[in-house]
């Protein structure tokens, strides 16, 4: 380890400051462009010891767990609380611009739709039972050390109010001192807890854990390693006025405002489409909203999510027909011949993107496409394929869903 003073030139894609070193870039978390910082350096990674010249863009972090001076970053949940709002939003929008530019795409990128404190309805906690206590919090950056939290400005009030209950459930379920995960989703009927990483639980402990949950208020369901342990009331989320009971531990957009924004952009673009394919449909985030304007074919590889979508569509009033298909779109994308019956397609894949599906779409006659992505780099690759197939980008909107991190969502709209 060596100590030296460096000047930060720019921010990297993960939000770390980058300084020019004699033997290549040095990555310095919690630093900002223009700052002169003294660092303890190991290879190409620097830890801030002190800031000789702070940036005008530096702010006091809103959360005490982030570190009092904005450089400790004790809690690994957020990485950019030390950055003032406007430069932070500019940075996030620039991530999308740079990703498109890397593939030679010169589309106009809209202003970032901002995220706000208290909006996160889905949070994944790290948990571990110690001799004295039950730790619930987040892993420190690049570490297995759990920082126990007492506040969290990104999380919804409903989750924060139930932290003692979440802690009690974690303590009732823990079978050893090994760390495990508790995914928490705020639903209309209470919190939905999905616990993963706990080994086999003895029956007496299982019964006692169920009793613990039943004695707590505001908990809709607790599942363990994908299986429902106890469900005091069915968890309910709403997609455009349609009620859905999501599968245990299933995917849900992290904030309701970001989901609403994405849905509005998709619906506005697809407009009066009569036949729509929703690919990587999940539990129906877009399908159930789109079914108010046209017939929808929802395709998804996860069986439980698809079943939740299908059940919700059957019960809902005022929807056009919704058909469902279980299919691994990475291995078996909808072929060009199958796409010819649709005049609009929306796809929202995992971070890996939808390369093979886009190759088929590029050869299709689908008039309008809405591409939703949580990874600007794979989105840029997919858009390149569609552009080469004769599509024109009509809009690119970056959306902040993961406040004070380097993650950004994007909705891109295209026409043939």
- For residue 308, CA distances in Å to 82, 108, 248, 281, 282 come to 40, 37, 11, 11, 9
Cα separation, 98 vs 95, whole angstroms: 5
Full set of structural domains in the chain with CATH: 2-58 (2.40.50.140), 91-115+255-415 (3.40.50.150), 122-230 (2.40.50.1070)
Could you tell me which residues come within 8 angstroms of residue 72 by beta carbon, excluding any fewer than 6 positions away? 30, 66
Structure tokens at 272: 């009066």
Asked if residue 348 belongs to a known ligand binding site, the reply is yes
Asked if residue 119 belongs to a known ligand binding site, the reply is no
Q: What is the pLDDT along the chain (416 residues), one digit of tens a residue?
A: 778 999 999 999 999 999 998 889 999 999 999 999 999 999 999 989 999 989 999 999 999 888 655 555 578 889 999 999 999 999 999 999 999 999 999 999 999 999 999 999 999 999 999 998 999 999 987 788 898 988 899 999 999 999 999 999 999 999 999 999 999 999 999 999 999 999 889 999 999 999 999 999 999 999 999 999 999 999 999 999 999 999 999 999 999 999 999 999 999 999 899 999 999 999 999 999 999 999 999 999 999 999 999 999 999 999 999 999 999 999 999 999 999 999 999 999 999 999 999 999 999 999 999 999 999 999 999 999 999 999 999 999 999 999 999 999 999 999 99
Cα separation, 41 vs 208, whole angstroms: 49
- For residue 241, CA distances in Å to 83, 313, 406 come to 37, 11, 31
Task: Residue count of the chain, please give it.
Answer: 416
pLDDT computed for residue 70 by the predictor: 52
Q: What are phi and psi of 239, to 5 degrees?
A: -115, 100
Asked if residue 253 belongs to a known ligand binding site, the reply is yes
Strand duo 2-11 + 17-21: pairing: antiparallel
pLDDT computed for residue 77 by the predictor: 86
Asked if residue 260 belongs to a known ligand binding site, the reply is no
pLDDT computed for residue 190 by the predictor: 98
pLDDT computed for residue 357 by the predictor: 98
Question: Catalytic site residue 78?
Answer: no
Cα angle value 88/64/134 (rounded, 5°): 120
């Amino acid at each position: 380890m060596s100590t030296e003073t460096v000047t930060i030139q720019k921010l990297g894609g993960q939000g770390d400051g980058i300084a020019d070193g004699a033997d290549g870039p040095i990555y310095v978390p919690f630093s900002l462009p223009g700052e002169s910082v003294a660092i303890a350096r190991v290879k190409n990674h620097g830890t801030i010891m002190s800031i000789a010249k702070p940036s005008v863009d530096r702010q006091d972090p809103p959360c005490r767990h982030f570190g009092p001076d904005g450089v400790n970053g004790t809690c690994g949940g957020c990485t950019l609380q030390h950055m003032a709002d406007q430069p932070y939003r500019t940075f996030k929008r620039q991530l999308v611009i740079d990703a498109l530019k890397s593939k030679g795409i010169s589309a106009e990128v809209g202003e970032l739709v901002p995220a706000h404190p208290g909006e996160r309805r889905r949070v994944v906690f790290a948990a571990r039972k110690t001799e004295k206590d039950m730790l619930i919090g987040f892993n420190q950056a690049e570490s297995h050390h759990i920082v126990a939290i007492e506040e969290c400005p990104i999380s919804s009030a409903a989750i924060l109010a139930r932290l003692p209950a979440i802690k009690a459930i974690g303590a009732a379920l823990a079978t050893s001192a090994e760390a495990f995960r508790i995914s928490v989703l705020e639903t209309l009927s209470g919190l939905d807890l999905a616990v993963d990483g706990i080994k086999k639980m003895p029956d007496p402990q299982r019964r006692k854990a169920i009793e613990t949950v039943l004695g707590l208020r505001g908990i809709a369901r607790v599942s363990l390693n994908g299986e429902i342990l106890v469900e005091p009331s069915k968890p309910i989320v709403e997609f455009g006025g349609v009620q859905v009971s999501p599968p245990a531990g299933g995917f849900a957009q992290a904030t309701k405002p970001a989901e609403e924004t994405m849905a509005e952009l998709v619906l506005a673009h697809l407009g009066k489409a009569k036949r729509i394919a929703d690919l990587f449909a999940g539990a129906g985030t877009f399908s159930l909203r789109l079914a108010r304007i046209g017939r929808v074919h929802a395709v998804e590889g996860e069986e439980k999510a698809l079943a939740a979508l299908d059940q919700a569509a059957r019960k809902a009033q005022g929807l056009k027909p919704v058909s469902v298909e279980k299919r691994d779109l990475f291995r078996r994308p909808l072929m060009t011949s199958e796409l010819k019956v649709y005049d609009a397609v929306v796809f929202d894949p995992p971070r890996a993107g939808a390369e093979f599906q886009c190759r088929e779409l590029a050869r299709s006659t689908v008039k309008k496409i809405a591409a939703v992505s949580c990874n600007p780099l794979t989105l840029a690759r997919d858009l390149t394929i569609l552009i080469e197939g004769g599509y024109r980008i009509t809009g690119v909107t970056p959306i902040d869903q993961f406040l004070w991190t380097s993650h950004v969502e994007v909705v891109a709209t295209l026409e043939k």
